[in-house]
Structure 1
């Protein structure tokens, strides 16, 4: 598996991965339709942010995207193709994101997590610091996590 910078022309491919990965958790069609805009990856965002993909044999397996400026940034998206979940792709992407964040001078990353992904982020060293309203589903609260990069 190789981790490399994402290319703007991969925006639609990454959007598809994000949608499939979110649907993996059993969300219904109405929920997925409500999330579609928030999960859409924009080519301009790829150019402006630190976005990398994990790839094996020419297939993109997942991606992660960071934004922000020192001292604090955010892990905006981390999605893995469903058939690759649990096989180390997410961990590799998270570790690359951690390294990129440190290289960018960030001391802390915040993560608006899907409730189903929270255990993964906690296992990676993040801590829950509260909750935040969903950008897609009115009344839904999401775990708000933080990763202290100075301690990692």
Structure 2
């Protein structure tokens, strides 16, 4: 397992973070045509970076391993997980768990009580292991034929 730290993302990293999201999604088995449909959901949001709502896992020699993004919803205490994307080269090394821990801390700072997660099929087990509870399904807005599992994660008192 590679050592890493989690830190706020910088706007100048947006293209590289988007590439991580594309690599992770392709590794899940989606073809190039599907990736094109998914791109609005894979492209990292610059406004979220500027607002301090995107965090990067960075390993040795500054290698970016993945990122997480979240935002408040405006609905009392509900935080939306915009996504966790880990470069496939670093899967199963604890990077995703560290990124999720960072978003839990961020959510606490935003007075969050629940994180809402829309999970692709391959990440369902990951969120369940973290303690999130499945609450339903929803079509992916950029490709309605893909069904996402909806999870709610109750933020523990910290």
Deviations, residues 47-74 of structure 1 (Å, cap 9, x unaligned):
1351110101211110001101441111
2:27 paired residue number = 24
d(CA) in 1 for partners of 2:147, 2:32: 19
Query: CA 1:41–1:110 in 2, change beyond 3 Å: closer, same or farther?
Result: same
- Point out 4+ residue stretches in structure 1 off by more than 4 angstroms: none
User: Which secondary structure state, in structure 2, belongs to the residue aligned with residue 44 of structure 1?
Assistant: helix
Q: Give the C-alpha shift of residue 43 in structure 1.
A: 1.9
1:35 paired residue number = 38
User: Which secondary structure state, in structure 1, belongs to the residue aligned with residue 131 of structure 2?
Assistant: coil
Q: Give the C-alpha shift of residue 16 in structure 1.
A: 0.4
Query: Aligned match of 1:111 in 101, 104, 117?
Result: 117
1:3 paired residue number = 6
> 1:49, 1:65 within 8 Å by CA — same for their partners in 2?
no
Q: TM-score, normalised by structure 1?
A: 0.93
Mark the runs of 5 or more structure 2 residues left unpaired by the alignment: none
- Structure 1 stretch 140-149 or stretch 106-115: which is displaced more? 140-149
Q: TM-score, normalised by structure 2?
A: 0.90
d(CA) in 2 for partners of 1:141, 1:43: 26
CA RMSD of aligned residues (A): 1.5
Q: Does 1:132 align with 2:156?
A: no
Query: Aligned match of 2:91 in 85, 90, 96?
Result: 85
Report how many residues are paired. Answer: 152
Q: Give the C-alpha shift of residue 86 in structure 1.
A: 0.5
1:143 paired residue number = 149
> 2:120, 2:147 within 8 Å by CA — same for their partners in 1?
no
User: Which secondary structure state, in structure 2, belongs to the residue aligned with residue 23 of structure 1?
Assistant: helix
Q: Give the C-alpha shift of residue 99 in structure 1.
A: 1.4
2:64 paired residue number = 60
